[in-house]
Chains A and B, each alone.
Chain A
Amino acid sequence: MRKNYISLFDVIGPVMVGPSSSHTSGAATIAWMARQIFPGVPTKVTFTLYGSFADTYLGHGTDRALIGGALGYRSDDTRIRHAYEHAREAGMEVVCIPDHETEVNHPNTVDILMEDDDGHSLLIRGESIGGGRVRIVRMNNIDVEFTGEYSTLIVGHLDETGTVAFITSRLANHQVNIAFMKLFREDKGKKAFTVIESDEFIPEELSEELLEYPSITSVDVIEF
């Protein structure tokens, strides 16, 4: 979880699968976060790599790191090296597409499209911003911004009056202190995500309570 000082283990660490904190460790973390958000188990994952990711992904094992993350492996898991084989065994189809043309805001950017046989699909755009740290900047067609460095609650809902008040009141009931909160929306009255970052762990019961509210469609929690 995030600290507001440079810790001993920020310098001696992270423990990670090589060779690059940005191109390998960060890539695994982005895909791991996408897997935490995806409902269920993806059967097909398409990675579109941009910028430096597109240029040097093979030599940095960025593709294997992404696939490993999509399989639920953390960035220090040695199974990443053989991620293609593990994906095949798990029945997860993977496609890596380097895109050298599209302009992106950060040189280490990837789009991850996860799909399953029940018609679920999720598009996540992530940036690997250095030292293994990452930022999620898009979910489906909505621009968002969160890092996963805090306990993160992602609530998908319709942009309707009272929804955010309901979310915060539930958080207060569970004594979860909000560090940061942002609402990201497609358009007024349409789909939105409220992202809440907290220093504390987010209890499981909270997700169930939130899902009872009519305009709330999805609740995801990312805890490292």
Chain B
Amino acid sequence: MTDFNFRNTAELLSLCKEHNMKISEVMLSREILLGGVTRAAIMDQIDECLRVMDGSTNRASEAPIRSMGGLIGGEAHMLHELPRSQTICGSTMHKAIMFSLAVAETNASMGVIVAAPTAGSAGVVPACILALHEDYDISVDVLRLGLINAGAIGYIVTRNGSVAGAEAGCQAEVGSASAMAASALVEMLGGTPEQCCHAASIALSSLLGLVCDPVRGLVEVPCQTRNTIGASGAFTAAELALAGITSPVPLDEMIQIVSDVGHALPISLRETGKGGCAAAPSVCAMCDGCRE
């Protein structure tokens, strides 16, 4: 059997070329090969993820949910109520950023979410692919493959780089999620595997150096709005790549750069709640009484 167990983007792209497959199809073949499971079983699990994602994107947009830490709650609903005349992002991106707020709100209020790749960055991927699915003529099968495409990029980042804020900052969490979403959007809109990787690389480079500075150590501020930037950045990167704009830095190198930059960040900016926004006096005053 052909070895679908690719280790990096270069090997992934060469498998795509050799077999004339999309990124999602190569990832699916890898999962079937290594997991000893059927395509149908994987798709069932993908459907379960999509079902949970759909729930987490919608619940908070319809009605405000207060977070456990008390720093956020109701933002998705506020965006939902924004008059059309004041929307400047366009319908699909508006929807995506609203969904990403909603997932962060669901997460912070102990609702059920799908980590993608982490809980703190869980809003980006579902927001992008579900908004595209709602607004464009895209089948459920393409949506499923989009999520698997995002998983392929996430796998490479996890294997060769980092998806942990404590290790490499928010660039490793929301940055990785943005890269995964950008690649998924490109594939869902008919782009090539190379364009997917350019989109992912552009998305990562745009958030390069982003620090992890959660106020009070909670997954609320600035995590929630960072998810919206991850989502809108993914849309932008996908649009650039679909137009044929390329990243001079290949994705494999960009993943390594994120790791290197992450390790160069001071420890106060790596999920310790001791620097960045977490150290701002105003936001700390905001949550007086959220502990005991």
**Stretch from A18-26, A147-155, A157-165, A188-196 that touches the partner:** A18-26
Q: Tell me if A114 is interfacial: C-beta within 8 Å of chain B.
A: no
B155 touches A19 (CB 8 A): no
B-side interface residues, number (CB < 8 Å): 54
Which residue of chain A has the shortest Cβ distance to B50 in the bound complex?
Answer: A12
How far is B135's CA from A144's CA once the two chains are assembled, in angstroms? 53
Take A7-B35, A11-B158 as given contacts and tell me if A19 and B107 are in contact as well, using a CB distance cutoff of 8 Å: yes
- Report the minimum CB–CB distance from A157 to chain B (whole Å): 35
Q: Which of B119, B150, B159 contacts A6 (CB 8 A)?
A: B159
Q: A9–B37 Cα gap in the complex (Å)?
A: 13
CB distance from B29 to the nearest CB of A (A): 11
B119 touching A21 by the CB < 8 A rule? Answer: yes
CB contacts (< 8 Å) of A88 on chain B: these are none
Q: A59-B290, A61-B110 are in contact. Are A15 and B49 (CB under 8 A)?
A: yes
Give the chain A neighbours of B286 by CB distance below 8 A. none
Check B119 against A7 for contact (C-beta < 8 Å): no
If A15-B48, A15-B49 touch, does A59 touch B116 (CB 8 Å cutoff)? Answer: no
Q: Does A49 contact B (CB under 8 A)?
A: no
CB distance from A212 to the nearest CB of B (A): 36
The answer to whether A78 touches B34, judged by C-beta atoms less than 8 angstroms apart, is no
- Tell me which residues from 48 to 68 in chain B have a Cβ below 8 Å from any Cβ of chain A: 48-49, 52, 67-68
Q: Which of B200-208, B216-224, B232-240, B254-262 contacts A (4 or more CB under 8 A)?
A: B216-224
Q: Mark A75-87, 1 if CB is under 8 A from B, else 0.
A: 0101011000000
Q: Is there contact, CB below 8 Å, between A12 and B151?
A: yes
Contact with B68, one of A9, A10, A59 (Cβ below 8 angstroms): A59
CB neighbours (8 Å) of A13 from chain B are: 49, 114-116
Q: Does B45 contact A (CB under 8 A)?
A: yes
Contacts A18-B109, A58-B292: A11 and B218 contacting too (C-beta < 8 A)? Answer: no
Q: Of residues B108, B119, B120, which shows the largest number of chain A Cβ atoms within 10 Å of its Cβ?
A: B119
B290 touches A58 (CB 8 A): yes
Closest to A78 in B: B112
Q: How far is the CA of A78 from the CA of B27 in the complex (A)?
A: 31
Q: Give the nearest-CB partner of A132 in chain B.
A: B115
Contact B158 A55 (CB under 8 A): no
B42-A8 in contact (CB<8A): yes
Asked whether, in the complex, the Cβ of B164 is within 8 Å of the Cβ of A130, the reply is yes
Is B118 in contact with chain A by the CB < 8 A criterion? Answer: yes
Which residues of chain A have C-beta atoms less than 8 A from B169's C-beta? none
CB contacts (< 8 Å) of A169 on chain B: these are: none
Chain A, Cβ-Cβ closest to B216: A59
Q: Does B113 contact A (CB under 8 A)?
A: yes
Q: Which residues of A contact B154 (CB under 8 A)?
A: 11-12
Chain A residues near B220 (CB, 8 Å)? Answer: 19, 59
Q: Which residues of B contact A132 (CB under 8 A)?
A: 115
Contacts A/B (CB < 8 Å), 17 sampled? A7-B34, A8-B151, A11-B151, A11-B158, A12-B150, A15-B52, A15-B112, A15-B113, A18-B107, A18-B110, A18-B113, A19-B107, A19-B109, A59-B218, A60-B217, A60-B218, A78-B111
Give the top 9 A-B pairs by smallest Cβ distance, nearest first: A18-B107, A59-B69, A11-B154, A19-B219, A81-B110, A59-B218, A8-B151, A56-B217, A12-B151
Which residues of chain A have a CB within 8 Å of any CB of chain B?
3, 5-21, 24-25, 52, 55-56, 58-61, 64, 76, 78, 80-81, 130-132
B: residues with CB less than 8 A from A are 5, 27, 31, 34-35, 42, 45-46, 48-49, 52, 67-70, 106-120, 122, 125, 147-148, 150-152, 154-155, 158-159, 163-164, 166, 180, 216-220, 273, 290-292
